[in-house]
């Protein structure tokens, strides 16, 4: 099963505050989608008037098929089914009143199984119908009305999304699916092996040339292998202060494969708009 947010909040900034205001759970996507979908996540909220919640996220190098309540700032009220491309920068979402979302988070490169070139969707939110085999109206109808008890309806809604993706996978090109799973496996090395620091390291571990790896990532993941490496290191750096504890950033930099602390601070500030220590102070002040 996917880890609960208490144990893995990578990408969720200020996770302590999130848990005070919103129900956030992760569900397994099932064996048919292995290597393509990391997990299905579900969010429910019931906030008092004036108690809106703004959640910042440093995104994983992933795409999401998302069904549910739109961002409170959009002006839209009806539920929608959309595809969220890979976001390169810090993003946020505004939640207000009562709402819900069920979404499938891809592996890095996983949605290359369904789409010819995922990079065209980077930073975009588009109708889910761009994915062959998925239909927004059908998903929304199968998940039921917004008035339904979101907590009771959540397992069924997760099942609807998983089933729809399995059906879409069944008609996808087999060679494209195989390449997407291969890219996801290589990206998993980038995520977990801190000895892998450069493109050449990753290509050697994958047993392919650097240029071939770049082409495969460009088509399936929409971002370069080097970008994936750096993003995962930044996600881990932010996670290091999840509990508001003090950390040695020079030690973190070394553990995450950075040449020195200055390089970590530079990348962290560019991605999150603040230094690691400034973020750590904010987390300590908010959560404790």
Q: What is the pLDDT along the chain (288 residues), one digit of tens a residue?
A: 799 988 899 999 988 889 899 999 999 999 999 999 999 999 999 999 999 999 999 999 999 999 999 999 999 989 999 999 999 999 999 999 999 999 999 999 999 999 999 999 999 999 999 999 999 999 999 999 988 888 999 999 999 999 999 999 999 999 999 999 999 999 999 999 988 989 999 999 999 999 999 999 999 999 999 999 999 999 988 888 877 777 888 988 888 888 889 999 999 999 988 998 888 888 777 654
Q: What is the CATH number of domain 174-287?
A: 1.10.10.60
- Cβ atoms of 151 and 106 within 8 Å: the answer is no
Question: What is the end-to-end Cα distance of the chain in Å, rounded?
Answer: 30
Q: Output DSSP code: residue 274.
A: S
pTM of the model: 0.93
């Amino acid at each position: 099963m996917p880890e609960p947010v208490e144990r893995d909040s990578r990408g969720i900034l200020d996770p302590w505050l999130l848990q005070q205001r919103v129900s956030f759970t992760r569900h397994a996507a099932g064996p048919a989608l292995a290597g393509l979908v990391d997990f299905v996540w579900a969010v429910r909220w019931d906030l008092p008037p004036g108690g809106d919640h703004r959640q910042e996220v440093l995104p994983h190098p992933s795409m999401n098929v998302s069904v549910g309540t739109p961002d409170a700032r959009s002006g839209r009220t009806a539920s929608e089914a959309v595809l969220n491309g890979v976001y390169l920068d810090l993003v946020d979402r505004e939640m207000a009143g009562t709402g819900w979302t069920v979404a499938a988070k891809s592996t890095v490169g996983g949605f290359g199984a369904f789409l010819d070139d995922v990079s065209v969707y980077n930073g975009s939110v588009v109708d889910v119908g761009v994915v062959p085999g998925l239909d927004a109206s059908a998903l929304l109808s199968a998940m039921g009305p917004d008035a339904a008890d979101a907590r009771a309806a959540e397992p069924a809604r997760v099942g609807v999304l998983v089933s729809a993706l399995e059906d879409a996978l069944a008609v996808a090109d087999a060679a494209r699916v195989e390449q997407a799973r291969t890219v996801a496996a290589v990206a998993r090395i980038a995520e977990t092996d801190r000895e892998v620091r450069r493109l050449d390291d990753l290509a050697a571990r994958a047993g392919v040339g650097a240029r071939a790896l770049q082409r495969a990532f460009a088509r399936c993941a929409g971002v370069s292998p080097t970008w994936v490496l750096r993003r995962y290191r930044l996600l881990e750096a932010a996670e290091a202060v999840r509990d508001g504890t003090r950390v040695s950033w020079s030690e973190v930099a070394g553990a995450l494969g950075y040449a020195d602390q200055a390089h970590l601070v530079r990348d962290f500030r560019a991605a999150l708009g603040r230094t690691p220590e400034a973020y750590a102070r904010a987390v300590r002040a908010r959560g404790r």
